[in-house]
Homo-oligomer: A and B are copies of this chain.
Amino acid sequence: MSNDIQQMMQTLGQKARKASRELAVATTEQKNRALLSIADALLAQAETLKAENKKDLEAGKAKGLDDAMLDRLTMTDKTIAGMAEGLRQIAGLKDPIGEIEHMNYLPSGIQVGKMRVPLGVVGIIYESRPNVTIDAAALCLKSGNATVLRGGSEAYFSNHALAACIQQALKEAHLPEAAVQVVQTTDREAVGEMIAMPEYIDVIIPRGGKSLVERINQGARVPVIKHLDGICHVYIDDDANTDKAVKVAINAKTHRYGVCNAMETLLVAESRAQEVLPILAKAYAEKGVELRGCEKSRAIVEMKAATDEDWATEYLAPILSIKVVADVDEAIDHIAQYSSGHTESIITENITISRRFLAQVDSSSVMVNASTRFADGFEYGLGAEIGISTDKFHARGPVGLEGLTSQKYIVLGDGHIRQ
């Protein structure tokens, strides 16, 4: 059994590697044609897709999946139309591959620059969200990468129906069918193999909760673009404008609760706490947000006491921890100690303080007078997002097409030799 899975994954990896060579030199027109064909196929086959999805939903209900999971698993005409629209948007993006940057003449007379190239083969491991199958395949295709997709077992039938649409479109665009492959088993061993084949897979992107990402990262022998916690902070500085502070602090916490770029801890300069906290407490109370504060916060507004664990927790819920700090330096220190390095924002009118915050806070997004909720590939103008990286290596923050590429040096001479 184990040998069978290993053999299957090896074969799949070999095919992906071979397809990646063809895909790397596919024209922009070919790749866009495939993307648009997938969109057409999804709409044309909506009934089949919903029927297959129904099998997954029924099995999921029988298995006792909770409502949130069933919701993410469900495919409707609307979600299918959304996938098709996403594909069209990605087809409309500029092709990153082949872009040449910084061609310069050097003292020896050679001309040196960098050309953008695909990474090769991208493995995506995700939970039971069928839309990820299409998103991930589309982004990898546009960036010239072959893809190996391993979705959650609860979306087995949905993913296979989606894969069939993709295969058909690839064929029509004269691209190798192995450019996008869906792993044909729900056996967990397949994941173990997938993350340990550096000869066939160049990078793994896990998309899902922290436990999934940690599990993948532990066992991986291939680079992983990973997204762990989002413990995001907003710091209201001495020189904050009150209106901006209130607006941003409310938006960062309450715009959506279960997202990685929501604020989890609010830091307030001591000089402003007396004024700002009562206004915020009232607004949060109206939204049903539970507050947990340090002693100084609690002396101003009634709330639960925050423990050390609160500062280190990503609530993903209508809960907010609040700390009064002496100044920007204490805010930066608190962030250095507790932040997950995702996104932090300062509210201030002072340019010196904001420059210091931008330089010293070591997070993938650092903001001035803006809501942490903006940390997102679409909001940043990337046109798409395969995930948000909390790593520093290779890709950091929202990852779009460029994060799925590398650059090679190109050198032009006229018979130049090294002296």
Contacts and interface: CB of A to CB of B under 8 A. Distances in A.
A364 B408 contact: yes
Given A120-B392, A223-B223, A365 B415 contact: no
**Total copies of the chain:** 2
A15 interface: no
Nearest to A369: B413
B362 A117 contact: yes
B408 A363 contact: yes
Contact of A416 (B119, B358, B371): B371
A255 interface: yes
Nearest to A379: B108
Describe A's contact surface by its main secondary structure: mixed
Contacts of A112: 379-381
Interface residues of A, number: 66
A407 B402 CA distance: 13
Interface string A385-419: 00000001110111000000011111111111110
A369 B408 contact: no
Contacts of A244: 414-415
Given A365-B408, A365-B409, 11 more contacts: A98-B359, A115-B359, A117-B362, A244-B415, A366-B411, A368-B411, A371-B418, A375-B409, A380-B409, A396-B407, A396-B408
22 contacts: A110-B374, A112-B379, A115-B358, A115-B366, A119-B392, A203-B393, A223-B393, A251-B418, A255-B417, A255-B418, A345-B411, A358-B410, A364-B409, A365-B410, A367-B412, A369-B413, A369-B415, A370-B412, A370-B413, A371-B413, A393-B393, A396-B408
